[in-house]
Structure 1
Amino acid sequence: MQTDPVDHELIQAAAHVARTRCRGDNHTMAAAGRARDGRIVTAVNAYHFTGGPCAELVLIGAAASQGVYELDTIVAVGDRDRGVVPPCGRCRQVLLDYFPAVKVIVGGGDRVRSVSIVDLLPESYVWADHQLDAEQDTARREPAPSADHGNGA
């Protein structure tokens, strides 16, 4: 697993949001993502017993609402000074599907590191491949254009 330089500013941004915006049981995690243009986007989770979205998933929507459709790096930080928290399995899959080249900051203390989402989800199902297969199936099933060119013959 190859590691990349760690974006400590991104960790600090997520930690600040976790400290100042996560209150009670509804918001316990914060995420920060760095856009390709250098901007930092932040978000918090929306806990609910029905399976509310993790901070990383809320971040994807928050980023899009700000015109950010490509993220270089993402990190999640827990409230109550829990530090960096790795993404759950669902988030790993969604991050891979949305941003296949994204780096994810994981680990704690002096072991914090930045790794590729692919390294966090090896041998994964790639949703984009499914979409491509579906497009190819649709193209195969569509009828060939008529050779009569509309003259009723």
Structure 2
Amino acid sequence: MTTQTDPVDHELVQAAADVARTRCRGDNHTMAAAARARDGRIVTAVNAYHFTGGPCAELVLIGAAAAQGAYELDTIVAVGDRDRGVVPPCGRCRQVLLDYFPDLEVIVGAGARTRTVRITDLLPESYVWADHQLDTE
């Protein structure tokens, strides 16, 4: 059962929406993501669509955040272009986000139903990436 954790970070949703509106042009970039780093910074990114399975905006954001020295993310949201609003992460992104940031909060839902949930609520009974777990012990 998914439970609401914290109030929605509307500044984060707006940052993703602004990037979706201004940077997502054409079929190659249709989704934007924004995340709040532990130090309060907001990092943004767009997807890189490709028929071979290019990365989603959330995955591009992980690399962009690391390139900026933001290795700990607290909250993430994805927003679609053409005013599609908040879009929940796909299954692959849920697994990667959980592996990298097990305490991450994710903004999901639409309109008045927008809410913040824990990544573990979006991917219960998840696979444990054993090699990754060994690195953190």
What CA deviation, in whole Å up to 9, does each residue of 1:88-136 have, x standing for no partner?
A: 0000000000000000000000000000000000000121xx127878x
> Which position in structure 2 is the counterpart of 1:64?
66
Q: Measured at CA, do residues 114 and 134 of structure 1 come closer, stay the same or move farther in structure 2, by a change above 3 Å?
A: closer
CA deviation after TM superposition for structure 1 residue 2, in Å: 2.4
What CA deviation, in whole Å up to 9, does each residue of 1:13-41 have, x standing for no partner?
A: 00000000000000000000000010000
The structure having more radius of gyration, on CA atoms, is: 1
> Which position in structure 1 is the counterpart of 2:131?
131
> Which position in structure 2 is the counterpart of 1:105?
107
In structure 1, C-alpha distance between the alignment counterparts of 2:71 and 2:88, rounded to whole Å: 22
Give aligned-pair identity as a percent: 83
**8 Å contact kept, 2:99–2:132:** no
Task: Provide TM-score, normalisation by structure 1.
Answer: 0.84
> Which position in structure 2 is the counterpart of 1:2?
3
In structure 2, C-alpha distance between the alignment counterparts of 1:132 and 1:43, rounded to whole Å: 24
Runs of 4+ in 1 over 3 A off after TM superposition: 132-135
- Are 1:76 and 2:78 an aligned pair? yes
Q: Structure 2 counterpart of 1:32, which letter?
A: A
- Matched position secondary structure for 1:30: strand
In structure 2, C-alpha distance between the alignment counterparts of 1:88 and 1:108, rounded to whole Å: 16
Runs of 5+ unmatched residues, structure 2 = none
In structure 1, C-alpha distance between the alignment counterparts of 2:77 and 2:115, rounded to whole Å: 10
RMSD after superposition: 1.3
Higher relative contact order (CA 8 A, sep 6+): 2
